[in-house]
Chain A
Amino acid sequence: MQYELQLNGKTHSVEAEPGTPLLWVIRDELKLTGTKFGCGVASCGSCTIHLDGEPVRSCQTFIEDVGGSEVTTIEGLESREAKAVQQAWVELDVVQCGYCQSGQVMSAVGLLKENPRPSAAEIDDYMWGNACRCATYQRIRAGIQRASEIMEA
């Protein structure tokens, strides 16, 4: 099947079978590899993208359900929240292996859009589904709080 995908501000024509997770269209067809495969069952958050600005798990978002929604991947991030999160990530050296971090950044951006000054408990609640096997969680929490400060400055 042929699908028209609105992704990172451009229209892409992609060939995929119905039932194909958006994750694999993004990674294997469009070759945008910032979005990661971690579990395939929406349990780790490594594949998080934005659908009309809302974080979703691309491994459980199917190509036929995307329609005209705007898809944003880590490569297409350019909001104020995104810049603040990425700056904070660098300042605090949040990453270790880094494999989950695209998903962490996508979720963090989603949180700050919704709640520019989240408490530690609100961060824990929102970010719960983004697993990091290196356990960089202390720095993810601090990074989101730092991004919040950067946005206020």
Chain B
Amino acid sequence: MTVHTSRRGFLKGAAAATAVLMVGVRPGGVLASATAESKMFNPFVKIGSDGTVTAIVKHFEKGQGPATGLPTLIAEELGLRMDQIDYEFAPSNPQHYANLLFGQFQGTGGSTAMANSFMQYRQAGAAAREMLISAAAGEWGVDVAELAIEEGMVVGAGKSAPIGEFVAAAAAMEPPAEPTLKHPAEFRLIGDPDVRRLDTAIKSNGTAKFAMDVHLPNQMVAVIKRPPRKDGLAVGMDDSGAREVKGFINAAILPNKAGVAVYAENTWAALQAREALQVEWDMSQAESRSSDEIKAEILAALDAEPEFNVLKNDHGPVQTALDGAAMVVEETFYFPLLAHAPMEPLNCTIEATADGGILLHDGCQFPTGPHMALAQIFQLPMEKIQINTMLAGGSFGRRATPDADYQVEAALAFVMTDRSRPVKLVWSREDDITGGRYRPAFGHKVRIGLDAGGNIVGWDHRIAGQSIMKGTPFEAFSVHDGVDHSSVEGVSDTPYRIPGQFVGLTDTQKATSLLWWRSVGHTHTAYVMEVMMDLAAKAAGRDPVAFRLAHLDGDKDQARMAGVLKLAAEKGNWGRPPEGRAQGVAVHKSFGSYVAEVVEISGNAEDGIRIEKVTCAVDCGIAVNPDIVKAQMEGGIGYGIGHVMRDQITLTGGEVDQFNFPDYEPLRISDIAAIDVHIVASQEMPTGVGEPGTPPAAPALANAIATASNDLRVSSLPMTENGVSFA
């Protein structure tokens, strides 16, 4: 970001057309305005004397909406219409743009963009408003109390002028220590369902620029030939075939031997040359297990003494409750590896800058990770590394790699060149599907005891699987006393009132490479919790919604969960499906938000199921952009359902069996006939929306299938491999 003027310039009466007022909120809460004299300070809003207002968005945009949501917060407090504000993505700077929930780390994830920005960006907008009003009051000789900003105009005391006229004077002022925020009753934009996304037009006419669209002068394209199995090492190669490909430039074994970089003049030549390249691999340390072995290890762990007692309670009373229960329901579940498969394959471009630094162009989810990694690889101070964050074509967790996997690959490919030409690293879809970073496989074994009245009296829950967080920089956040919370979230902290719960966890051997996948642990825990709640309800002879509500009759947490469940049941005509249809329900809390979904299907597991309708209710606190909240629920439901229907990653002798979309089939338009989303009105602080729509979708579908198909239990996924066909 360039700053075109200085405070001294204003005092000297420099051209006002170049004045810029910038306001930001540091993580410590201190406000500041800035000019060229303090370039190191990066603001959240930049206002030009020509009236242009730009929100500096610290979260990347992968479709989930912060490029609209954060400008909405500024526009609300500053008194603008949405067509009076634009956005740009923040540079990499963890001091100024840290995710307040991640410590000193800039990044997007865990459905936190709005939760950690809501006060920060409103304060920035409110401070700018107060400064502009003060400047106008001074110039007009009136009291600040008489003035307001409406639709980009300072108005009051019988006067009216565009905010741009006061930018120069405001930029010379000290910012208010504690700007007054609007009362929620005064909100005009926050909560307005008619606010539109700021990025729709460019994404509908082909002008939106993703990292994949970078074309720098003289750039090379690099693709990496990777080992057929994870952790194989390149020890030799023959590029004589590649040399025959027109446009081929060079091939070189990466410094870490993790593959061979193939450089070419364009993408097609790079892909063709890679096909023709012969590589000798050392496979002595490579992954050799099959997914069947991984599954067998997990299932065996469920029957052994658990490694960790998650709730640190005595198992005895739980066992006693189960022994004395009138009914016990029991089931074992297995969840396979899954790929993220964002539509834009992974890529980024690295170039050397004129001042001896490095510039990374990337749909960058975790800027601090690649920033540190590149500084180390290039042996440069942090300030010599810049990141140009661009639009990202989806992520679902895949771009959030703490070790900056693909950016490091690009850096290693670049470091081997003479650095005179930018290098654009491109992954193919096959690289993506076979290249690891999967949702880990997990198993659960659960026994629930019910008394004669159909109330839960004991719940024994064993979980086994591969920890995502151990061995990553996020270990300190998620792992306590050996327990990776992301393995048990949604079970050990369930809002349900469950007397006598025991949760055991065993970490199994890490297979292939793992990564969080949209909604992390909730991808499997919600499925288990909500299928079990249905089994328990049916055993107790009670309606599944009534049974759940009976275990949500206590505190505020339970009341909010009950609230979405009732709303989804009401809007989805729970209990009154049309002729020939069956319903299933699930409700789950994740990332601070509560979501209930009613899935309505026709057909049955044997003859083929069609998903006719999904009705969703969400409580995410204040819904800043309600239409984006709805879109995230729609997308989250599709993501959850698409994968449980027919997707899995399997390994044979360590080699991934799937290659591309034909055998990792994405959800298609015909798979879900309709989705209807309802938002609970709330004054609570905003919580997540990117992920919480996903967890309840699959169990609600499973519960509907059971109802339609003689109580068929779909306890292993994907569904198509376990007795369910889809029409």
- Spell out A's residues near B (CB within 8 Å): 17, 20-21, 24, 27-29, 31-41, 43-44, 46, 73-75, 77, 85-86, 89-90, 93-102, 105, 120, 123-125, 127-128, 130-141
Contacts and interface: CB of A to CB of B under 8 A. Distances in A.
B205 A74 contact: yes
Interface of B: 61-65, 196-197, 199-210, 212-213, 215, 221, 246-247, 266-268, 271, 341-345, 391-396, 428-430, 627-628, 631-632, 634-639, 642, 660-662, 666-675
A99 B631 contact: no
14 contacts: A20-B268, A24-B268, A34-B205, A38-B345, A40-B271, A77-B205, A96-B63, A98-B199, A99-B342, A99-B344, A99-B393, A135-B634, A135-B637, A140-B669
Contact of A39 (B200, B661, B675): B661
A98 B203 contact: yes
Given A39-B661, A137-B667, 10 more contacts: A33-B206, A34-B205, A36-B212, A37-B267, A40-B428, A74-B206, A86-B201, A89-B204, A97-B391, A133-B343
Given A36-B344, A98-B393, A137-B672, A41 B666 contact: no
A124 B670 contact: yes
A139 B634 contact: yes
A130 to B, nearest CB: 7
Contacts of A38: 343-345, 429
A46 B206 contact: no
B662 A41 contact: yes
Contacts of A94: 200, 204
A63 to B, nearest CB: 10
B669 A124 contact: yes
B662 A135 contact: no
B242 to A, nearest CB: 14
Contacts of A77: 205
Nearest to B677: A138
A17 B246 contact: yes
A40 B429 contact: yes
Contacts of B341: 133
B206 A35 contact: yes
Nearest to A74: B206
A130 B174 CA distance: 53
Contacts of A43: 660-662
Given A131-B661, A133-B341, A86 B205 contact: yes
B203 A44 contact: no
Contacts of B197: 93, 95
A99 B203 CA distance: 7
B666 A44 contact: yes
B343 A46 contact: yes
A103 to B, nearest CB: 9
Contacts of B246: 17
A-B pairs with the 8 shortest C-beta distances? A34-B206, A135-B638, A99-B393, A98-B203, A96-B63, A97-B63, A74-B206, A33-B213
A140 B668 CA distance: 12
Contact of A96 (B428, B631, B637): B631
Given A33-B213, A38-B343, A96-B63, A131 B668 contact: yes
Contacts of B396: 133
A31 to B, nearest CB: 5
A136 B660 contact: no
Given A46-B343, A95-B200, A128 B205 contact: no
Nearest to A34: B206
B394 A39 contact: no
Nearest to B61: A97
A95 B639 contact: no
A97 B206 contact: no
Contacts of B63: 95-98, 134
Given A96-B63, A96-B64, A134 B669 contact: no
A34 B207 contact: yes
Nearest to A123: B669
Contacts of B628: 93
A39 B695 CA distance: 27
A102 B662 CA distance: 21
Contacts of A99: 210, 212, 342-344, 393-394
Contact of B268 (A28, A96, A98, A137): A28
Contacts of B671: 137
A139 B660 contact: no
Contacts of B673: 120
A37 B268 CA distance: 11
Contacts of A34: 205-207
Given A21-B268, A131-B343, A95 B661 contact: no
